[in-house]
Amino acid sequence: MTTRILTLPQRCETQYVPLAVLGYCLTHSDFLRPLAGVELKIKTVEHKPVQKLQDVLVSILANCSSIKQVDLRIRPDVVLAQAWGREQFAQQSTLADTLDAFTAHSIEQLRQATQAMYRQHGRVWRHEFGQPLFLDIDLTGLPCSAQAQGSEKGYFSQEKNTYGRQLARASAPSYHETLFSRLYPGGQSGQAVFKPTVRALQAQFAWSREQRRQIIWRTDSGLGTDANINWALTHDYQVLMKGYNGKRAIALARRIAARDWYQLADEKWVALTSHAPRYARRTQTLLLRWRTPKTKKMKYATLVHSLLDQDWHLVSALYDDRGAIEGEIKADKFGLLLPRRRKRLFAAQEALILLTDLAHNLATWTQDWMFAGSRFASYGPVALVNDVFCIPGDLILKGDKLQMVALRESHPYATDLALCLAKLLAQFGNP
């Protein structure tokens, strides 16, 4: 007997039931309406620009490693498209052309659109001042082809003679939100990105002087110049920043007696120095000393802070919490595949980054919308994209109304996730 091999139309099955229900809620609540304000000079035949931007967003949440994978992973999934208000997702070539149509002007429109969503739904916008707000700024390298716009030789962690671009990002680690991203050419140093980033966030949030006094900027040494520290202090912010000048740290360390070093952990010490430069407001300068695991060499750095009500022995632990932004960036790199989606045009790449930020924050907000109190409450973008959003099952839509959701019973997450999806639909008023 010969086995028959056929192709059949898709019925109610989708490989992304949770992502489909999320899309149904977002599109039926006009959540993504601000994207309609992005104007692109591109011919519209079948899909509007806002629809194509939405398709790119879905591709990120569906773990497509490139725009090319849209045709292979989500375009065949008609049920997923219908849940997101689309008859079928656009072809990858159409989405690529849409990204290539971005200009500096349309990038600012996209930035304003995403910020409008952050204002309405973001956790940082609901922060209760009276409690400090730690905000981190980091500059991370994104390697790319030497022929890409803005690609230059620069510093890329653990990679030599590499071309790429630099991404400046500000985030609120306690809320797991990305607040702002801007792409720079590959040779950009960290010193020059601090002020523009803070100014952009100040314009976005319009913090009062009293609120700024409760905002603590944390940066690594690449951004911690005296000029940046003084600028932040004169604008009423608090600082917890590693100093830029490594030679200064070594010189100050020579003045510290052996008995004055306080041991924080194995191979890590802190000391208080009174010989550091004076800044625009009263600050305290700490010296950090640690031994590197591989080379066993002793390293030194200054840590300048204005948290004068804190025990100086404990301040370095507050700085160490800055590791959260590195974790957030790593999650976006491995979960949302940030470095793998590459566009030759500079504006196209920045558009992808802003949509990736939106995907990151959507994944964060689902914790409040559907996952709080469940086994998925601690899941970040990596686990959500790889393990949760891609659970298969059936979805029945009649007209514009979601009639039934069925998760594949054999999946180990099915029972728990069914409760989460019911909570998500209730959160959006069972549209």
Distance CA 365, CA 355 (A): 15
**Over 60: is that where the pLDDT of 8 sits?**
no
| pLDDT at position 191 | 92
| Mean predicted lDDT score pLDDT of the chain | 92
Phi, psi for residue 63 in degrees, rounded to 5: 70, 30
DSSP 126: G
Judge whether residue 1 has pLDDT over 80.
no
Could you count the other beta carbons within 10 Å of the beta carbon of residue 61?
A: 26
Which range (100-104, 278-282, 371-375, 377-381) has the least confidence? 377-381
Least confident of 34-43, 98-107, 331-340: 331-340
> What pLDDT sits at residue 349?
96
* CA pair distance 168, 183, nearest whole angstrom: 6
Q: What is the dihedral of CA 390, 394, 397, 403, to 10 degrees?
A: -110
323 has pLDDT over 90: no
Average pLDDT over residues 159-188: 92
pLDDT over 90 at 133, yes or no: yes
Average of pLDDT values for 215-224?
A: 94
Kindly state the average pLDDT of the residues 360-386: 93
**Residue 417: alpha-carbon gap to chain centroid:** 25
Res 335: pLDDT: 66
Q: What is the pLDDT of residues 375-413, one digit of tens each?
A: 999 998 889 999 999 999 999 998 889 999 999 999 999
Over residues 126-152, the mean pLDDT reads 93
| pTM for the model | 0.93
Structure confidence at residue 346 (pLDDT): 97
Q: What is the pLDDT of residue 45?
A: 78
Contact 97, 55 (CB under 8 A): no
- Report, as an integer, the average pLDDT of 311-337: 80
146 against 326, higher pLDDT:
146
In this model, does residue 10 exceed pLDDT 70?
no
Residue 325 pLDDT grade (very low, low, confident, very high; cuts 50, 70, 90):
low
- Neighbouring-strand partners of residue 156: 159
pLDDT at 268: 92
Report domain extents, the chain: 13-105+335-427
pLDDT on residue 429: 93
What CA–CA distance (Å, rounded) separates 428 from 294?
52
Lowest-confidence segment of 240-244, 265-269, 346-350, 372-376 by average pLDDT: 265-269
The whole-number pLDDT of residue 375 equals: 95
DSSP letters of 345-384?
Answer: SHHHHHHHHHHHHHHHHHHHHHIIIIITTSTTTT--HHHI
Position 326 pLDDT exceeds 80: no
Q: Looking at residues 352-368, what average pLDDT do you find?
A: 95
- Asked if residue 308 has pLDDT above 90, the reply is yes
Question: What is the C-alpha separation between 336 and 377, in angstroms, rounded?
Answer: 18
Predicted confidence at residue 253, as pLDDT, reads 92
Residue 344 has pLDDT above 90, yes or no: yes
With 60 as the cut, is the pLDDT of residue 6 above it? no
pLDDT at 108 over 80: yes
What lies within 8 Å, CB to CB, of 309 at 6+ separation is none
